[in-house]
Amino acid sequence: MTTNYFEYNAGSDLPSDAFRISPSQISRFFDNSTAWYREMLLGEEGFTGSTASALGNCIHAAAEMYAKEGKIHYDQIDAYINQLPSDHDIPFIQSQYPGMVDILLNEYLTSNLPTESELFLSHEIRPNIYAAGTIDSIRGTAIIDYKTTSSKSPPNKISRPYWFQQLVYAYLARKNGYTINSIRLVFITTNEMNRYSEKTGKQLKDYPSIVHVVTHEITDIDMEIIENSLNLIAESVQTWKENPEIRYLLAQDYRLKPKASPKLFKK
C-alpha cells in the first residue's frame, strides 16, 4: 500500500465532537482573537493555502519520505503540484522544490535522521477539549520543524507564532512520555539564480538555497506559559459554549452581541 504523504492527519483517534486546539493557531488566539473565534468556533473559512504553503508541503513530504523510506517519491510530489488550484504559481513550485529538497538532505537530514516523523499527538486539557497536532519530527530530545522561507537572511530567533507552536508540540510530547528539552526550526530558503537586471542586462548576485538551523532550549517558565495558555483557551471555549450571551466579549467582536428581543406590548 502506497503511503499518501500529503494526507492531513486530523486526529481520527479523537472523539468526533471534540474541540481541537491547534498548535499553529495558538498565537492567533491572543493576537487576532476575533478571527480565531470566528474560524474555530463559528466555522468561518480562514486560510486555505497559497504558493508558499504548497511549497512547504512539498518539502515536508520529502522530509517524511526520506525519514521513513530513505528515498524521495518525486512522482508523488509532482502529482500533488499538478492538482493545485490555478491561483498557485505552479511553475515556481516546480522549479524550487528539487533544489530545496537536495539541500535539506545534503546539509541536514542525512546526518540528522529523526527518531520520529510526522507524529500525531494529543492531550485532553478539559473534558472533550484537546490540544492536538502533528509534529514534523523528533530527534533525541529535540522537537524539529521544517520551515520554508523566501528570505535571503533566515531569522536567528524563533518568532512568537512559531514559539507557541513548537512549545505546544513539546508539551504534547512530554505528556505522551517523550523527554523533550529543546525546539529546533530548520529553515530551507528558496533560491534566486541566473537573474539579470532589466536595466543593465548584467547578471545579478545568485542566492542558492541554504539550510539555517535555530534552536531554543526549553525552560520551566516556557512550559508554565504554554500550560497556562492551553488552560486559558480551553476554559474560554467552555465559556463560549455555556454562555452565548457573552461571546462578543470573548471574541472582542461587537457584531456577535445578541440583539435585544422586541417588545410587542406596553405594560
SS (H, E, C) 201-243: CCECCCECCCEEEEEEECCHHHHHHHHHHHHHHHHHHHHHHHC
* Confidence band for 10, pLDDT divided at 50, 70 and 90: low
Query: What amino acid is encoded at 109 in this protein?
Result: L
Give the SS3 label for residue 130: strand
Taking the complete model, does pTM exceed 0.75, yes or no? Answer: yes
User: For residue range 73-107, what is the model confidence (pLDDT) as tens digits?
Assistant: 999 999 999 999 999 999 999 999 999 999 999 99
Mean pLDDT of 41-64: 90
* Confidence band for 128, pLDDT divided at 50, 70 and 90: very high
User: For residue range 227-247, what is the model confidence (pLDDT) as tens digits?
Assistant: 999 999 999 999 999 999 999
CATH T-level fold of 19-243: Lambda Exonuclease; Chain A (3.90.320)
Q: Are 194 and 206 in contact (CB under 8 A)?
A: yes
- For 61-74, give one letter per residue: b (16+ CB within 10 A) or e: bbbbbbbeeeebbe
Give the pLDDT confidence score for residue 21 in this predicted structure: 96
* Confidence band for 35, pLDDT divided at 50, 70 and 90: very high
